[in-house]
Amino acid sequence: MSNTVPVSLKPVAGFCIKSTTLQPAVYTPASPTRSPNSLEPKILPITVPAGFKIFVNVAWNANVPPPPECSEEAIKRAMEGQTSDENGTDGSGEYFVPVVVSEGRQDTDKAGKPSLVFDCVFHKSVKTRTLIDHEYKVFIIELSLQRIEAQTGLLLSRNIGTPNIAAKGKLEPRTVSIPSFLAPTSSSDAKKKPLIEEIASTEPESVKPPSKPKGILKGVQQSSSSALASASAPRAQQKPLQWSWSKQNDQIHLSISVPRLDKSTISKATFDIEPRRFILSVPNHPILDVDLRISDAEIVSKLGTATAADTEAGSGGILTLKRQREFQVENATAEWRMVEDKLVIVA
């Protein structure tokens, strides 16, 4: 019986980070199996000097194995880099996050200087928590950097930047080999797996790139700052975000006020938009989650103060917004306006 099973992936862009190498190295991408008569050129080693820019695309796909179901205590232990006995102190087992890491591909930065790009693809369930838990997002970033280091031998800086893009380059469809013990049909050994499992990746297939996924708004993050900052105060004690909307030439404009907006806040913020929902996570404020799929009664009951100024249909409030067309996710744009302390989305 084979130790691996092939799985096809069409990664969905999540967010992009950039780092640099801390010391010189030589990186040799793994070569795919080649026919003796192949005319394709042999993959050559890449000389990587210190300070060489590395882009990391964190992406999602349902075919990547999900993390095991564990208690919050087990998840926190993993985030803090702690290990426990085989069953965990709470009997829930060890928490780990499977990830598919691509081979590095050569690209250039905005200045035209050479760089390397890696894709780290996690199960789509990981996305949800990264949107609402800054510490967990930092954990996923750290796992991505660790896995790239283990796979390539490169040493990467933790002083990272967050470019204003969802992904560097195109996320091509690909076929990967997943260890059979991580396949959905096998779960008996779940509690014995290490913190993070390496999943071998093959070269991307020569097929048309997937269409831009719904539910993802490309880059609303910007500036360079360390993502390894501590989380802010408890959200329950923080002031809700205020927002409003308008319609101009068949385009829906969302305006979300973010008091004392600065580059540090922007670098830690996460925005996600779906056809009938948008979510904004900003430090020092509760999560703004506007879900237009639920009933009018549920919307009104959940409003509190974190809502549009008026909730009545026909008056420019949230219930009127619910009766508009779906957000045009694929063409959506977002702009941070620091002078006005707001995020403006056109969808």
Is 226 contained in some domain?
no
Pair 181, 256 in one domain: no
Rounded CA-CA distance 140/120 in Å is 10
Q: Which residue, of 142, 175, 199, is where some domain finishes?
A: 199
pLDDT at 184: 58
DSSP secondary structure letters along 163-226: -SSS-SS----EEEEEEGGGSTT--TTGGG--SS-EE-BPPPPSSPPPPPPTT-------SB--
Pair 179, 71 in one domain: yes
Pair 243, 334 in one domain: yes
Domain count, the chain: 2
Pair 187, 263 in one domain: no
pTM: predicted TM-score of the whole model, two decimal places: 0.55
pLDDT at 92: 57
Rounded to a whole number of angstroms, the distance between the first and last alpha carbons of the chain is: 50
Is 39 contained in some domain?
no
Pair 51, 152 in one domain: yes
Is 221 contained in some domain?
no
Q: Which residue, of 199, 217, 245, is where some domain finishes?
A: 199
Give mean pLDDT in consecutive 10-residue pieces for the chain, a chain of 347 residues: 80 94 92 58 86 96 92 91 58 82 93 95 93 91 94 93 90 85 52 46 41 37 36 54 90 92 85 88 87 83 50 58 88 88 92
List of long-range contacts for 67-74, beta carbons under 8 Å, 24+ apart = 67/95, 67/96, 67/97, 67/98, 67/123, 67/125, 67/126, 68/93, 68/94, 68/95, 68/96, 68/187, 68/190, 68/191, 68/193, 70/94, 70/95
Q: Which residue, of 199, 221, 255, is where some domain finishes?
A: 199
Is 74 contained in some domain?
yes
Pair 195, 241 in one domain: no
Pair 137, 184 in one domain: yes
Greatest alpha-carbon pair distance for the chain in Å reads 70
Write the CATH number for 245: 2.60.40.790
Is 37 contained in some domain?
no
Is 342 contained in some domain?
yes
Is 261 contained in some domain?
yes
Pair 193, 327 in one domain: no
Pair 9, 116 in one domain: yes
Pair 195, 247 in one domain: no
CB 46 within 8 A of CB 29: yes
Is 270 contained in some domain?
yes
Pair 239, 150 in one domain: no
Structural domain containing residue 323: 235-346
Pair 195, 317 in one domain: no
